[in-house]
């Protein structure tokens, strides 16, 4: 079974593997139905989506009408203004066919200028707090991509007491001393405050660059053998405080579910270093 643990201070016990709904960005409803049925069979009880994930929210909506109580449901807004964020939330609630979401997250909040707009007067934060006060969202979070994310999340937590953070984590990325130090500082603070830490990019192999895109994982090529995915997933799950959001591709999802279902111990750094050589793993962030 995929293990579960308290999702920060939310009161929800989430599977440590969270479904990343970017995998449904180009899905038909029939494909989405098969994926969501697979989640139920696997015991996954937490979905992370966003309005900019193509078809995802629309495909999830019919399932929420039947299974709302079985999933902790999270979505996001990339807007940096009060009104823009409200427009995103209303659209998400409509597409998801729900009267509230469990978690609403500021999406990709890593740029200093956007951070100032979002956190300032008339910014996203005002909409977030108001939506929570009205019961349209239960908890608030912040997400980010890139090498500056951990440091920016520390800044965000200084500004506001968010319930969750979301950021990249994998063996290759954690070989960057600056990022590793910021990540550890962030996890230490989150542990103290009972803030849930969600991670992404666990099975990133390398940037796509000029190679044909054979998976739906946006800007990076994923690992795709079961053994390599096992090690990558188990390495992240070896950190006891972390949750892992699945990669945005329907093809690799069953392998990630399988890996999480069999997790027992974290592979050694020597094993991960060997994989890095065998699969030509490269950093996906400059």
CA 149, CA 201: separation in Å to the nearest integer?
A: 13
pLDDT at residue 209, as a whole number = 83
Where do we find the tokens 């405080």? 241
Coil, helix or strand for 27? Answer: coil
Domain boundaries, the chain: 4-278
Where do we find the tokens 């027992």? 264
Q: How does 89-120 read in b/e, with b if 16+ C-beta sit within 10 Å?
A: beebbebbbbebbbbbbbbbbbeeebbebbbe
Per-residue pLDDT of the chain (286 residues; tens, 9 = 90+): 999 999 999 999 999 999 999 999 999 999 999 999 999 999 999 999 999 999 999 999 999 999 999 999 999 999 999 999 999 999 999 999 999 999 999 999 999 999 999 999 999 999 999 999 999 999 999 999 999 999 999 999 999 999 999 999 999 999 999 999 999 999 999 999 999 999 999 999 999 887 888 888 888 999 999 999 999 999 999 999 999 999 999 999 999 999 999 999 999 999 999 999 999 999 998 7
pLDDT at residue 191, as a whole number = 98
Q: Span 4-278: which CATH code?
A: 3.20.20.100
CA 91, CA 191: separation in Å to the nearest integer?
A: 33
In sequence order, the 6+-apart residues with CB closer than 8 A to the CB of 190 are 8, 157, 165, 196, 197, 241
Burial of residue 59 (CB within 10 Å: 0-12, 13-18, 19+) is buried
pLDDT at residue 217, as a whole number = 87
Per 3-state DSSP, what percentage of the chain is helix, strand, and coil (rounded to 5)?
45, 20, 35
pLDDT at residue 214, as a whole number = 86
CA 171, CA 194: separation in Å to the nearest integer?
A: 24
Instruction: DSSP for 232-268, please give it.
Output: HHHHHHTSTTEEEEPPS-TTTHHHHHHHHHT--SPPP
């Amino acid at each position: 079974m995929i293990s579960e643990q308290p999702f920060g201070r939310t009161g929800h016990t989430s599977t440590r593997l969270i479904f990343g709904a970017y995998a449904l960005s180009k899905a038909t409803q029939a494909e989405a139905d098969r994926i969501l049925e697979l989640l139920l069979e696997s015991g996954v009880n937490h979905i992370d989506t966003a309005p900019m994930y193509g078809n995802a929210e629309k495909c999830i909506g019919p399932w929420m009408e039947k299974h709302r109580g079985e999933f902790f449901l999270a979505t996001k807004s990339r807007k940096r203004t009060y009104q823009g964020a409200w427009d995103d939330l209303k659209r998400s609630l409509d597409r998801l066919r729900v009267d509230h979401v469990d978690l609403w997250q500021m999406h990709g909040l890593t740029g200093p200028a956007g951070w100032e707009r979002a956190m300032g007067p008339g910014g996203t934060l005002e909409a977030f707090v108001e939506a929570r006060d009205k019961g349209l969202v239960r908890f608030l979070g912040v997400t980010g991509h890139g090498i500056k994310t951990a440091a920016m999340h520390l800044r965000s937590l200084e500004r506001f007491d968010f319930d969750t953070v979301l950021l990249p984590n994998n063996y290759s990325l954690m070989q960057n001393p600056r990022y590793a130090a910021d990540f550890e500082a962030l996890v230490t603070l989150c542990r103290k405050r009972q803030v849930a830490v969600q991670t992404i990019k666990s099975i990133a192999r390398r940037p796509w660059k000029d190679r044909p895109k054979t998976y739906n994982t946006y800007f990076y090529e994923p690992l795709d053998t079961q053994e390599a995915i096992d090690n990558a997933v188990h390495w992240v799950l070896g950190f006891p405080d972390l949750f892992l959001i699945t990669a945005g591709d329907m093809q690799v999802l069953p392998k990630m579910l399988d890996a999480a279902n069999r997790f027992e111990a974290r592979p050694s750094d020597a094993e991960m270093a060997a994989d890095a050589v065998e699969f030509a793993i490269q950093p996906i962030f400059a």
